[in-house]
Copies of this chain bind each other. A is one copy, B any other.
Amino acid sequence: MKKKRFEFPDHLEIMGITGLPEIKEGDDLTALFFDALEAEKVKLEDGDSVVFTSKIISKSEGRVVDLFGVKVSVEAERKAKETAKDAKIVQLILNEAKEIIRTTKEHIIVETKHGFVCANAGVDESNVEEGKAVLLPDDPQRSALRLKKEIEARSGKEISVLISDSFGRAFRNGVLGTCIGVSGIPAILDRRGEEDRFGKIARITKEAIADEICAAANLVMGEFKESMPIVIVRGLKLKRCESAIKEVLFNKEDDLFR
């Protein structure tokens, strides 16, 4: 039963990459990332985790909506009155939602079509021009895999890519950097079977490592101005593997808090 799959590092570095331009639809994020690395004289190393804020992924993939063209349904009108939100924003939230979980005066908590439980389906009016809103990437797991392949091909290094968004949570105030796509490392570190300091066997510990990496990166990213939309986390000693963010998501039946 004894397993040892993960040597904990004793030192990590978290580096914000500055100097990226405002991202537009069709931009090649990999090329822009390497331009910024070169300008900052940073070289990628084997084992680096590269964390992208979801917003630049969304912008490059054209997931920016002009509110002018949004048609509002009767349901969105009704929900807008409940929440004191703009009806067009509510319409976008409903479009992105698979299920509405709670509605408050400030937020509509939904399960998105990806399976993420979050406020307002991640629809966000910050850091985009007035009159527009940014949606979450269509398939952030696929985006993470693509970016990882592109960055590995260009650098010759074995790296991982994580895509991060700021999510609130139940029971506690405030948002945390949270992973919505991961490629190259485990999403969850399953430590069942490892021995503790006294030789006892761990039964249930699963560490949400991808979420911890995104939370760490968010300390540098800047929650609001997003002036450092890409962050490198260096020094993790994680097993290389293909994984998927869906490993982090509960099956609906197993979810205690719906």
**In the assembly, what is the distance between CA of A227 and CA of B4, in Å?**
14
- Contact among B10, B194, B207, B224 for A196, CB-based, below 8 A: B224
- Least Cβ–Cβ distance between A21 and chain B, in angstroms: 11
Is the Cβ of A13 less than 8 Å from the Cβ of B16?
no
A68 at the interface (CB under 8 A from B): no
A94 at the interface (CB under 8 A from B): no
A188 at the interface (CB under 8 A from B): yes
Do A172 and B202 contact each other (CB < 8 Å), given the known contacts A8-B222, A12-B14?
Answer: no
Residues of B within 8 A of A14 (CB): 11-14, 216, 235
- Least Cβ–Cβ distance between A135 and chain B, in angstroms: 17
A166 at the interface (CB under 8 A from B): yes
Do A250 and B173 contact each other (CB < 8 Å), given the known contacts A166-B207, A191-B223?
Answer: yes
Residues of B within 8 A of A200 (CB): 125-126, 130
Chain A interface size band reads: 35 or more
Is the Cβ of B194 less than 8 Å from the Cβ of A127?
no
Is the Cβ of B173 less than 8 Å from the Cβ of A170?
no
- Contact among B8, B249, B255 for A228, CB-based, below 8 A: B8
- Contact among B106, B117, B171 for A204, CB-based, below 8 A: B106
Binds B, one of A74-82, A141-149, A151-159, A174-182: A174-182
Interface string of A205-227 (1 = CB under 8 A from B): 11111011101101111111111
Do A174 and B215 contact each other (CB < 8 Å), given the known contacts A8-B221, A224-B194?
Answer: no
- CB contact list, A224-253 vs B, under 8 A: 224-228, 233, 235-236, 247-250
Is the Cβ of B197 less than 8 Å from the Cβ of A223?
no
Copies of this chain: 2
Interface string of A84-111 (1 = CB under 8 A from B): 0000000000000000001010100100
**In the assembly, what is the distance between CA of A172 and CA of B180, in Å?**
11
Interface string of A110-142 (1 = CB under 8 A from B): 000000010000000111111000000000000
A169 at the interface (CB under 8 A from B): yes
Is the Cβ of B197 less than 8 Å from the Cβ of A173?
no
CB<8 Å pairs between A and B, sample of 29? A8-B220, A9-B16, A10-B220, A10-B228, A12-B13, A12-B14, A12-B216, A12-B220, A102-B257, A106-B204, A109-B256, A117-B171, A125-B200, A170-B171, A171-B250, A171-B255, A171-B257, A172-B178, A172-B250, A173-B249, A174-B207, A174-B208, A174-B211, A175-B205, A194-B224, A207-B218, A209-B219, A211-B215, A212-B219
